């Protein structure tokens, strides 16, 4: 599979990837390396993994990281209830206790969690380790074995090697510095806010019901808004939400009076400070400059 | 040009050029081990060398490991492989290897110095003592036409440039490591904890027919003491306020401190401190410029006590409390009555917080208000240059661990009595 094919498959899976991202996915598949995606919230990091799973027709296993994540939630856990039940049944039946002792800690009594599921999946899978920067350093260190060797060690069973090589995608918002050891095992890609043409493509693909003129105006407006000094800069996810909201109002283009759509801006502005800062006169200015930028970029037509 | 990436650079030994490129990246701070090198070669063999842009993208993903390196890589790639393109521009001098890494430079400097000393020793053999004295004294004067410059840590605050301010982080970072954590009443589950959570363990045992198989353990949650920085931006502090604001920015980045500026009014500028851009600095200047009249420390400290009870969105949160730390960066000149200032400082201390007064003057502020409040202030410190921040960390930690020591002593006493 080459890069062009990967790009095409991702587009079919509703993800418009730029060339370097497609290249990275190709590399991840070719040299079996995990991909580390870093970037602001809402730029489409998690969506890459979902799109890859859909495009490559692979099962997706997702591990959502959080502060108190432990091995029981991430890798495996012994099924104590079933073990007890098995003991009681054998006692009642008067069966072979020596055999029971050997079988009690076998794979039959193992509850597999996402990491183990991805490693033991009979067909190659996509493993998404989402927001890795939220976990502690101990868990990060544990991941080194999984990412580097594609294997998991269970003390009672030994080392379980991957039966198929999963495509591992880690995402990080950069809230904490990840260790060099982890970074070095991964291919790195910084996902930035998309360029104007790319964002237009994304919105056209994901919100096909929206009018072209509305999409152009809204995307230009968001691009201008990102240049403002905001606490939380709106990402692609916010742009999509906003345009969907505008569509539900049956708008064919952005109203000329900003007051008519000011109420919908809560989809873009997520803090009190940002909402206070973007006053009506700034909205008017943004709409005007957005039009000019659009004409320069060749995505908007000058008004007659 | 694209097809000649390796062949033009060194047609006889292309792998040697790749190794040189890797060395070049390492010299620019990239961490490239054997694994990365192997991956780079694999990509060249798999993808071919025809498409330079493609190799650049692939190598970028392998070599970069942070946003900064991700943004830096294309420039380094171009400078190394296409020096002619960038020759004459500010990007490059056309040389493949621009400079040496810091450790290399230091080792070279040391060897140069050793050689210099050795050559001087050789030269002075047989010469009079006066010549030797002259040479040693000339070392202090600066050599080769260069004038001596004070090191950055000794530079007075007024001479600081905005570009120097990144040095502040290194002085404040130890505080984060060494501040004693505050214990909260809430518990969190943690396998490594020592306290058993019996209710949860028994609840969990219900799934195994009442057999207590897995013990759930818990421990008290901990957080760092909250830090509050109050920067006086009055006329008398004009030459120091910029530095203090930079210092506050470092506290905000590293220790998530809340920052307030005051003069006649008090305004929280924490959201502005989190982003470092020219526009943000303009906003801070605009906020501080609007103030007029005399400094009202007491009024502002009272307002501060109330404002700490409000979160960033105006929501009600827990105000200042035990073991929180307040730094007031001011020269102490106040137009409020001294008794009022004393009462305001006492009110903060009575909440259990520590209050440190950082002043730009060498001596403790002589104003009546400060003299009267001395008993309530946890510590004074003159901040005249960067190295004085060392003292700040020590001063804060001394107070931060004092109570702990006291508690330990009390426990020992009780234990002995028992």
Contact A52, A126 (CB under 8 A): yes
Q: What's the mean pLDDT in A213-218?
A: 88
pLDDT at position B276 over 50: yes
A20 vs B: CB within 8 A? yes
Q: Is pLDDT above 50 for B121? A: no
Place of tokens 């002995």: B416
pLDDT of residue B418: 42
Residue with tokens 């604001």: B245
More confident residue, A15 or B11: A15
d(CA B130, CA B113): 22
Q: Which residue has the tokens 């930079």?
A: B246
In the predicted structure, residue B62 carries a pLDDT above the cut 80 = yes
The stretch B352-380 carries a mean pLDDT of: 88
pLDDT tens per residue, range B76-112: 888 888 877 665 555 444 444 444 444 555 555 556 5
Tell me what the mean pLDDT of segment B150-179 comes to. 67
pLDDT at A51: 92
Question: How is residue B410 written in tokens?
Answer: 């009390």
Q: Are B76 and B28 in contact (CB under 8 A)?
A: yes
- How many beta-carbon pairs below 8 A join chains A and B? 83
- Cβ(B320)–Cβ(B348) below 8 Å: yes
Range scoring the smallest mean pLDDT among A18-27, A108-117, A250-259 = A250-259
HSE toward the beta carbon, residue A70, CA cutoff 13 A: 10
Which residues in B lie closer than 8 A to residue A31 (C-beta atoms)? 39, 42-43, 46
**What are the tens digits of pLDDT across the range A273-299?**
788 888 888 888 887 766 666 666 666
Does A229 reach chain B within 8 Å, measured CB to CB? Answer: yes
Mean pLDDT along residues A178-197: 88
Residue A138 has pLDDT above 80, yes or no: yes
- Integer-rounded Cα Rg, in Å, for chain B is 30
For the full predicted model, state whether its pTM sits above 0.80: no
- Lowest-confidence segment of A110-119, B96-105, B381-390 by average pLDDT: B96-105
Query: Does A70 touch chain B if contact means CB atoms closer than 8 Å?
Result: yes
Strand A76-78 and strand A110-112: the pairing is: antiparallel
Q: Is the dihedral of CA A56, A58, A64, A68 positive or negative?
A: negative
Of residues B36 and B8, the one with the higher pLDDT is: B36
More confident: A86 or B145 = A86
Q: Is A178 helix (H, G, I), strand (E, B) or coil?
A: coil
CA distance A252 to A214: 6
- What is the Cα–Cα distance from B382 to B361, expressed in whole angstroms? 6
CA distance A212 to chain B (A): 32
- Are the Cβ atoms of A70 and B71 closer than 8 angstroms? no
Interchain contact A266–B (C-beta under 8 A): no
Q: CB-CB: which of A24, A38, A81 is closest to B208?
A: A81
Residues A45-82 pLDDT 10s: 999 999 999 999 999 999 999 887 888 889 998 888 88
Q: Examine the pLDDT at B165 and tell me if it is beyond 70.
A: no
CB B373 within 8 A of CB B345: yes
The yes-or-no verdict on residue A91 having pLDDT over 70 is yes
What is the rounded average pLDDT of the residues A263-277? 84
Task: Flag whether pLDDT at B138 surpasses 50.
Answer: no
- In chain A, residues with a C-beta closer than 8 Å to the C-beta of B208 are 80-81, 84
Would you tell me which residues 71-100 of chain B have a C-beta closer than 8 angstroms to some C-beta of chain A?
Answer: 71
Exposure on the CB side of residue A85, measured as CA atoms within 13 A: 7
- In sequence order, the 6+-apart residues with CB closer than 8 A to the CB of B232 are B241, B244, B261, B262, B263, B295, B297, B328, B329, B330, B331
CA distance linking residue A58 with residue A268, whole number of Å: 33
ipTM entry: 0.77
Question: CA A161, CA A165: separation in Å to the nearest integer?
Answer: 10
The verdict on A184 touching B (C-beta cutoff 8 Å) is yes
Whether the CB of A197 is below 8 Å from some CB of chain B: the reply is no
- Inspect the interface and report whether the beta carbons of A229 and B208 lie closer than 8 Å: no
């Amino acid at each position: 599979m080459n890069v062009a094919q990967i790009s095409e498959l991702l587009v079919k899976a509703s993800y418009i990837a730029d060339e370097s991202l497609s290249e990275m996915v190709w590399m991840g598949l070719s040299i079996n390396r995990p991909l580390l995606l870093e970037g602001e919230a809402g730029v489409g990091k998690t969506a890459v993994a979902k799109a890859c799973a859909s495009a490559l027709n692979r099962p997706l296993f997702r591990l959502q990281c959080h502060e108190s994540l432990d091995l029981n939630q991430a890798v495996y856990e012994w099924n104590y209830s079933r073990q007890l039940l098995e003991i009681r049944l054998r006692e009642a039946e008067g069966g072979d206790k020596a055999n029971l002792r050997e079988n009690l800690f076998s794979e039959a009594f193992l509850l597999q969690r996402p990491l183990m599921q991805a490693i033991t999946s009979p067909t190659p899978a996509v493993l998404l380790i989402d927001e890795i920067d939220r976990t502690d350093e101990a868990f990060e260190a544990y991941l080194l074995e999984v990412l580097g060797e594609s294997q998991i060690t269970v003390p009672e069973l030994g080392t379980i090697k991957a039966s198929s090589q999963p495509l591992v995608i880690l995402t990080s918002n950069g809230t904490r510095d990840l260790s060099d050891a982890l970074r070095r095992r991964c291919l790195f890609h910084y996902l930035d806010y998309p360029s104007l043409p790319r964002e237009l493509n994304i919105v056209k693909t994901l919100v096909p019901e929206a009018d072209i003129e509305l999409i152009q105006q809204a995307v230009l407006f968001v691009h201008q808004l990102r240049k403002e000094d905001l606490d939380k800069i709106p990402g692609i996810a916010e742009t999509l939400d906003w345009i969907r909201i505008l569509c539900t109002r049956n708008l064919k283009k952005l109203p000329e009076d900003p007051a008519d759509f000011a109420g919908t801006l809560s989809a873009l502005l997520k803090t009190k400070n940002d909402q206070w800062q973007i006053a009506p006169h700034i909205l008017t200015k943004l709409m005007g400059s957005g039009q000019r930028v659009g004409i320069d970029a060749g995505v908007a037509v000058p008004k007659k | 040009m694209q097809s000649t990436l390796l062949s033009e650079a060194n047609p006889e030994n292309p792998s040697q050029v790749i190794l040189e490129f890797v060395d070049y990246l390492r010299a620019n701070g990239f961490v490239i081990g054997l694994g990365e090198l192997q991956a780079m070669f694999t990509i060249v063999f798999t993808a071919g060398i025809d498409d330079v842009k493609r190799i650049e993208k692939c190598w970028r993903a392998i070599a970069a490991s942070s946003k900064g390196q991700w943004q830096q890589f294309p420039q380094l790639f171009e400078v190394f492989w296409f020096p002619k393109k960038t020759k004459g521009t500010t990007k490059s001098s056309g040389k493949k290897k621009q400079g040496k890494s810091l450790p290399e430079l230091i080792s070279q400097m040391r060897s140069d110095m050793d050689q210099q000393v050795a050559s001087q020793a050789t030269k002075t053999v047989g010469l009079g003592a006066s010549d030797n004295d002259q040479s040693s004294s000339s070392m202090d004067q600066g050599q080769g036409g260069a004038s001596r410059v004070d090191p950055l840590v000794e530079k007075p605050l007024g001479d600081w440039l905005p570009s120097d301010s990144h040095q502040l982080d290194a002085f404040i970072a130890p505080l984060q490591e060494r501040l004693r954590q505050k214990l909260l009443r809430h518990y969190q589950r943690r396998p490594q904890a020592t306290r058993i959570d019996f209710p949860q363990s028994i609840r969990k045992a219900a799934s195994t027919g009442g057999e207590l198989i897995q013990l759930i353990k818990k421990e008290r949650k901990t957080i760092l003491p909250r830090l509050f920085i109050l920067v006086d931006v009055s006329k008398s502090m004009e030459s120091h306020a910029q530095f203090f604001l930079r210092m506050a920015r470092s506290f905000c980045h590293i220790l998530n401190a809340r920052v307030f500026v005051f003069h006649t009014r008090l305004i929280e500028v924490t959201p502005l401190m989190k982003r470092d851009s020219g526009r943000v600095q303009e906003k801070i200047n605009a906020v501080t410029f609007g103030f007029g009249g005399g400094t009202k420390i007491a009024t502002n400290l009272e307002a501060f006590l109330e404002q700490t009870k409000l979160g960033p969105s105006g929501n009600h949160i827990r105000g200042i409390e035990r073991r929180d730390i307040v730094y007031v960066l001011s020269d102490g000149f106040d137009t409020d009555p001294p008794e009022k200032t004393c009462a305001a400082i006492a009110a903060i201390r009575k909440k259990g917080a520590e209050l440190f007064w950082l002043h730009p003057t060498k001596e403790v502020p002589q104003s009546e208000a400060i003299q009267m409040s001395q008993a309530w202030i946890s510590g004074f410190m003159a901040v005249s240059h960067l190295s004085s921040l060392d003292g700040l960390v020590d001063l804060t930690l001394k107070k931060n661990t004092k109570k702990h020591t006291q508690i330990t002593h009390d426990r020992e006493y009780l234990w002995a009595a028992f």
